[in-house]
Amino acid sequence: MNLLSPDPGLVFWTGLTFIILLYVLSKYAWRPILHAIRVREHTIKYALAAAERSQQEAESMEKLKKKTLAEAALERDRLIAEARDLKSTIIDDAKKSAQKEADKIIESTRQMLKKEKDDVLKQMKEQVAILSVDIAGKLLEQELKTTVKQKELINKYLEEMSFN
Amino acid sequence: MVKSFRILLVSVFIWVSGTILFAEEHEGKAAEEQQFDALGMIMHHISDSHFWHVIAFEKKDGSVFEISIPLPVILIYDGSIHLFLSSAFHHGKSVVQKGNHFFKLHHDKIYVTDAAGELTFSEDGTPENIKPLDFSITKNVASMWMSVLIIFALFVSSARKYKGKPSAPSGIQSFVEPLILFVRDDIVIEQIGEEKADRFMPFLLTVFFFVWINNLIGLIPFFPGGSNVSGNIAFTFTLALFAFILINVNGTKTYWKDIFATPGVPGMVRIILIPIEVVGIFTKPFALMIRLFANITAGHIVILSLTSLVFILKTVYVSPVSMSLTLFMFLLELLVGLLQAYIFTLLSALFIGMAVHNEEH
């Protein structure tokens, strides 16, 4: 049994073959393959990181968008409410001032009327007095003797009369 | 995932070793009792040869029809190189004359004889004649070159696909790449470490695929397979020698210090320890050599023995048993072929890793 004794010829050929194999494979297989695999691994790692980054960016953009939208909605509601308030205030104010104006006009009209009436009454009184005096004078002239005491008496009576 | 796969591989390895030992013993007994020379047949199949045997069968008239490819014989004897085809031996029947020298083939070994081709045998039956230095392209060499062509075809062609932009692997790449990545990540980088791994990557990758492809070729039962290259001691010796050189050439200060001045050991003990450590330098690659040789050869022996069962028992009724066992062994050997390539590479990487590590401990 020479199974256990290495045959020098086969050792030589195995060694030579292995060295050639090692050289050729290193140069034409392992180096390009390992290099390409490494490049690919880096590319994948980089691409994954970039994807994650852009996803995060997109998420934050989405958040920002939502926030902005919510703020805009709030602002809108606020503006609408404000406008509504403003509207009612304006209407109220207008109503009030109109009322006031109307009241004023009515008041002044009333005063004017009152004044006119007073004037008229005064004039009437005077007129009546004059007339009465005239009448009385005429009456007295005709029937009685006209005296100052009589005139005064008539005036006193007129004054006591109520026209209201 | 990878870890559990590794545990599985190693446990299968242990189990298979046990099975093979058992089977070998069993075969030994069977062969002794019968007339059919199973041992001779098996030895012929697992040894190297100067012919590349294709097919042989006995014709009706009793003559043997045989096809075998003659291989070139290269002999160095007496300072000159002799080159001829092995067919000149006529399977050991003829003596080949080259110049003043006569060569004769006996059990696939070439001896120097006289013109008549006389061989003088020693008591145990081996010829005592001088053996010339035999650098022939034997069956194993030819088979090994075939494996080299297969490996080139496999890897150089897939390397071409890696040119250009990084892309997803396709075709042959998807077969080759996981294996390369397995060797790279789970053997080389894990054992040697990230920063030093690159230097040993080509060697270990080459060893892995060289051993594996040769293991597989050895399992093909017909031409052009069936040679026992990776189960030949010369083959495993050479690979282990390369591993030995790599381990020791790249050994760091720490590595040599551990051998010759083991830290923390008193002087007297060191005297005992140094020889042990020095022997350890050689036993590591020696174990690599023997492990691969024994496993692959044993696998071949078991398969051949189981096949021989039909001839030994001289009944065709045993063939279902024999064939199913052989089939089982073939499947097992497919696994063992990968396993042994893995273990050879793993242990080489482990030893290299131990030699190149630099930390103080």
Tell me the DSSP string of B121-162.
B-TTS-B-SPPPEE----HHHHHHHHHHHHHHHHHHHHHHHT
Q: Which residues of A114-146 are buried (b: 16+ CB within 10 A; e: fewer)?
A: eeeeeeeeeeeeeeebeebbeebbeebeeeeee
List the one residue out of B302, B297, B280 whose CA is nearest residue B337. Answer: B297
CB contact under 8 A, B158 and A40: no
**Is B25 a residue whose pLDDT tops 50?**
no
Average pLDDT for residues A72-94, to the nearest whole number? Answer: 94
- Residue A1: what pLDDT? 47
**Is B54 a residue whose pLDDT tops 70?**
yes
Q: Which helix or strand (DSSP H or E) is residue B186 part of?
A: none
Specify the long-range contacts of residues B11-14, CB closer than 8 Å, at least 24 apart. B12/B335, B12/B339, B13/B336, B13/B339, B13/B343
Q: Which residues pair with B101 in a beta bridge?
A: B98
The reply to whether A24 touches chain B by the CB within 8 Å rule is yes
Q: Which helix or strand (DSSP H or E) is residue B97 part of?
A: strand B96-98
Q: Which residues of B304-341 are buried (b: 16+ CB within 10 A; e: fewer)?
A: bbbbbbbbbbeeeeeeeebeebbeebeebbeebbbbbb
Least confident interval from A94-108, B56-70, B139-153, B271-285: B56-70
List the one residue out of B18, B19, B10, B12 whose CA is nearest residue B329. Answer: B19
Amino acid of residue B34: Q
How far is the C-alpha of B102 from the C-alpha of B118, rounded, in Å? 10
Average pLDDT for residues A13-28, to the nearest whole number? Answer: 92
- Residue A163: what pLDDT? 59
- Residue A146: what pLDDT? 59
Residues of chain B contacting residue A37, judged by C-beta atoms under 8 Å apart: 162, 177, 180-181
How far is the C-alpha of B305 from the C-alpha of B46, rounded, in Å? 12
- Residue B168: what pLDDT? 78
Indicate the average pLDDT of chain A. 87
Segment B294-348, tens digit of pLDDT: 999 999 999 988 888 888 888 888 888 888 999 999 999 999 999 999 999 999 9
How far is the C-alpha of B84 from the C-alpha of B95, rounded, in Å? 12
Helix, strand, coil distribution of chain A in percent, nearest 5:
90, 0, 10
Give the distance from residue A52's alpha carbon to the nearest chain B alpha carbon, in angstroms: 20
Give the distance from residue A29's alpha carbon to the nearest chain B alpha carbon, in angstroms: 5
Least confident interval from A137-141, A142-146, B331-335: A142-146
**Is B12 a residue whose pLDDT tops 80?**
no
- Residue B17: what pLDDT? 52
**Is B219 a residue whose pLDDT tops 80?**
yes
- Residue A58: what pLDDT? 95
Give the pLDDT band of residue B30 (cuts 50, 70, 90): very low
Inter-residue contact B134 to A9 (CB < 8 Å): yes
Domain boundaries, chain A: 8-160
Inter-residue contact B346 to B187 (CB < 8 Å): yes
Residue of A nearest to B146 (CA): A17
* Out of B109, B138, B181, closest to residue A10 by CB: B138
ipTM above 0.90, yes or no: no
Average pLDDT for residues B8-21, to the nearest whole number? Answer: 54
Confidence (pTM):
0.73
Give the distance from residue A9's alpha carbon to the nearest chain B alpha carbon, in angstroms: 4
- Residue A65: what pLDDT? 96
Q: Are strands B101-106 and B96-98 parallel, antiparallel or unpaired?
A: antiparallel
**Is A68 a residue whose pLDDT tops 90?**
yes
How far is the C-alpha of A111 from the C-alpha of A104, rounded, in Å? 10
Share of chain B above pLDDT 90, in %: 30
**Is A81 a residue whose pLDDT tops 80?**
yes
Residue of B nearest to A13 (CA): B141
